[in-house]
Chain A
């Protein structure tokens, strides 16, 4: 789950991270008042979850409260890369001598957090890591001992700082680590961390991703995740309510299957035969007929879908339950779009008979089913 910048910074405040002074505004008048009270030139930042906000015009400078008002008037309610802007962060503008990068990421191959730091911040850090890996300091953190103070200090030394600045930077690194652990971060980064002409450090931006699997112990985030999440389309939100793994794609063949790997394989196969999948939808293991109908209904609610392809390899999922679910959708919603069903595994004979009796063709091989679906989609 992605946090909004203002949510991330509210967390940062709790941990005494040095941040620019800022105020949240949801009307142009509030933006003007905020700029007035900051008594400085401001940055107006759209609070959206899509990435690439700056390049899309979501970050603007205002030298007077009146300018802040005008910018807010333009931004609020407008659309930024498909996401509606409803809040702005009005923040004092920080002068910069140098921009750094500090981040904590989940290192999948070492199974731990790794600290990444670079004295070349402010840009896409992945690009730096590809083109000039020597400019990135990387340090694994043992989950058993946590980040020790001297380890943080060593990172700060490698960034080239000494004296008071070294101690200050060490303390910022430790704070970022504490935030990461406290909120079950999947990614916590400040980019840029600004070094001001006076030699102070200020985290101008703070980006936090929370591990979705940890939300049960962060009720506030969990509540927010259900209300408003990153880049989710309406159908994706509906699927989330039903606890279905669903991702919308841009093709015309709707897909429902059991198991993430099998569904991914189904999408690849559609592509292989020259078709385009409309979505990823995994009903998981042991699905009831209701769950199958829910999934199919959600997939079919996407207007782009011309054909439905259901791919079930039943283990703990029972094929008769699946067939029951398929037939229930037809009954509930009237005759709908053509379906291609692949049904094998537990109770498949019963399930297939139920479908045949209802006049629905079913396949044993997923290759044949995918090919048929692509053929029907190209005719439709």
Chain B
């Protein structure tokens, strides 16, 4: 069953003709993802890797069935691209673009909520269900099919932790990045809820970082639901100074909120195992699943 995407998922790529869009269209296709059409305004009639490109999402959906869109358009036009996808009735949007203005994100995230559209990102590496479907930019060779759900705010750390899991013989059900921005769609709580209901997921690896309180909310949720599957949390940014953005727009300690200590404390207080290092995630999960 897995979560969000599987071998039946059909997707369009918005911004398919750009450097990133065309490069990753090729990689996603070679992974076996069913990319049915592309959209780039002004490039209708072109093709990328044999996939037809349209000027609008509605045109693309006229001739092709699709469930999802992966968005690579430049930050200044993300707002319009997302609103267009929502307006066309797509229900899952993965926004890869980094540097989306907060005001724009607020608007499309609320619009998505109102239209029951699920948004992953912005500034996400995407989502991958090993051996089935990849809607993202992650290096696919580090992932292997299995029972660990991985949810993270960071791209490279998702790869690091997943590679560690794979090496130690633990495959993954679905791995997803929530995005490094301050304002993102899908949250830890929603991802945990989906993993809870997924029969193929036996345990969850949660990778958090400084900034905001999404991890604290996840801890509350784990406690409130008596979460039935083992969860290991790895939180980075213990050495980050307050008030400085650590690479991700959302990785910033503001005043007293968003510290790694607060997040780690929240997880510990509800009995979630804490990984001190990326490789601890696999070690702890092996013990918990033994």
Q: How many Å from the CB of B4 to the closest CB on chain A?
A: 20
Q: How many Å from the CB of A232 to the closest CB on chain B?
A: 10
A296 at the interface (CB under 8 A from B): no
Q: How many Å from the CB of A150 to the closest CB on chain B?
A: 20
A241 at the interface (CB under 8 A from B): no
20 A-B pairs in the complex with CB atoms less than 8 angstroms apart: A106-B183, A111-B110, A113-B106, A144-B114, A213-B99, A213-B100, A214-B102, A217-B101, A245-B246, A247-B245, A257-B156, A259-B154, A261-B236, A261-B248, A262-B156, A264-B240, A267-B240, A285-B155, A315-B159, A366-B160
Are B110 and A261 interface neighbours, CB within 8 A? Answer: no
Interface residue stretch chosen among A169-177, A268-276, A323-331: A268-276
Q: How many Å from the CB of A273 to the closest CB on chain B?
A: 10
Are B276 and A108 interface neighbours, CB within 8 A? Answer: no
Are B183 and A262 interface neighbours, CB within 8 A? Answer: no
A211 at the interface (CB under 8 A from B): yes
Are A268 and B183 interface neighbours, CB within 8 A? Answer: no
A247-B241, A268-B237 as given contacts; A211 in contact with B247, CB under 8 Å: no
Contact with B along A116-156 (1 / 0, CB 8 A): 00000000001000100000000000111000000000000
Name B residues whose Cβ lies closer than 8 Å to a Cβ of A.
Answer: 75-76, 99-103, 105-107, 109-111, 114, 137-139, 152-160, 163, 180, 182-183, 207, 209-214, 217, 236-241, 244-251, 255-256, 260, 276-279
Are A268 and B106 interface neighbours, CB within 8 A? Answer: no
User: A-B pairs with the 8 shortest C-beta distances?
Assistant: A261-B154, A260-B247, A259-B156, A315-B139, A261-B157, A262-B156, A214-B101, A143-B106
Contact with B along A187-224 (1 / 0, CB 8 A): 00000000000000000000000011110110000000
Q: How many Å from the CB of B22 to the closest CB on chain A?
A: 13
Are A108 and B250 interface neighbours, CB within 8 A? Answer: yes
Are A217 and B157 interface neighbours, CB within 8 A? Answer: no
Residues of chain B contacted by A247 (CB below 8 angstroms): 240-241, 244-246
Are A211 and B101 interface neighbours, CB within 8 A? Answer: yes
Question: Interface size (A, Cβ < 8 Å)?
Answer: 52
Are B157 and A265 interface neighbours, CB within 8 A? Answer: yes
Q: Select from chain B the residue with minimum beta-carbon distance to A181.
A: B103
Say which residue of A186, A217, A285 sits within 8 Å of B102 (CB atoms): A186
A313 at the interface (CB under 8 A from B): yes
Are A261 and B75 interface neighbours, CB within 8 A? Answer: no
Q: Give A262 to B207 CA distance when docked, in angstroms.
A: 11
Are A245 and B247 interface neighbours, CB within 8 A? Answer: yes
Q: How many Å from the CB of B260 to the closest CB on chain A?
A: 8
A37 at the interface (CB under 8 A from B): no
Q: Give A1 to B105 CA distance when docked, in angstroms.
A: 18
Residues of chain A contacted by B139 (CB below 8 angstroms): 314-316, 345-346
Residues of chain B contacted by A33 (CB below 8 angstroms): none
Q: How many Å from the CB of A81 to the closest CB on chain B?
A: 13
Q: Select from chain B the residue with minimum beta-carbon distance to A231.
A: B243
A109 at the interface (CB under 8 A from B): yes
Q: Select from chain A the residue with minimum beta-carbon distance to B100.
A: A213
Q: How many Å from the CB of B102 to the closest CB on chain A?
A: 5
Residues of chain B contacted by A315 (CB below 8 angstroms): 137-139, 155-156, 159
